Structure 1
């Protein structure tokens, strides 16, 4: 579980990132979760954009992504979700 200070730190790191995944009309599926888990292992911190035509609620999408990829939700702002998962082999971010 992330503390408030850690979330604030990660939000500042994520500010300059662009979303690398988009959740659209198809919603969240197993293949997307697998790819997000791989991206989290490589990058540790990613943004996911929820498109307007997505039929699911953005909070439900965030919850599904967190459960599926075993990551932690840093922030949901607008239609953008920020996820963090500490990398096992490629650790880049040192949390305060």
Structure 2
């Protein structure tokens, strides 16, 4: 289940993600099982990830991003243009400590 973030936690994560580079990018094939497996592994290792979505239409991008977040049980922190920031706490070792409020 995707974590539910408070506005303060979202703001904190946006600040943490500011300097990150996009680690993954969807290709012409869209969201494949291989892409989702790689994203799942990257989320487990980094917890906070930028993903670049290659879709021309804004509605298609929004749909792809929400689909990716749902399938990986990640929270969508932010979306700007073609880039989405996803957060999912690690099951084994948490690195990011969220503020309480």
Q: TM-score, normalised by structure 1?
A: 0.92
Question: Deviation string for 1:7-64 (max 9, x for gaps)?
Answer: 000000000000010112111111111110111000000000113568x811111111
State which drifts further: 61-70 or 36-45. Answer: 61-70
8 Å contact 1:72–1:83 — kept in the other structure?
yes
TM-score, length of structure 2 as denominator length: 0.87
Offset from partner CA, 1:59-88 (integer Å, 9 cap, x none): 111111111111111011111000000001
Measured in 2, the distance between the counterparts of 1:32 and 1:9 equals 27
Cross-structure match for 2:91:
88
In structure 2, C-alpha distance between the alignment counterparts of 1:36 and 1:53, rounded to whole Å: 22
Q: What does residue range 26-41 of structure 1 map to in structure 2 within 5 Å? A: 26-41=29-44
Structure 1 stretches of at least 4 aligned residues deviating more than 2 Å after TM superposition = 51-54
Gaps of 5+ in 2: none
Q: Which runs of 5+ in 1 are unaligned?
A: none
Q: Which residue does 2:79 correspond to in 1?
A: 76
Q: How many aligned positions are there?
A: 95
Secondary structure of the structure 2 residue equivalent to 1:57: helix
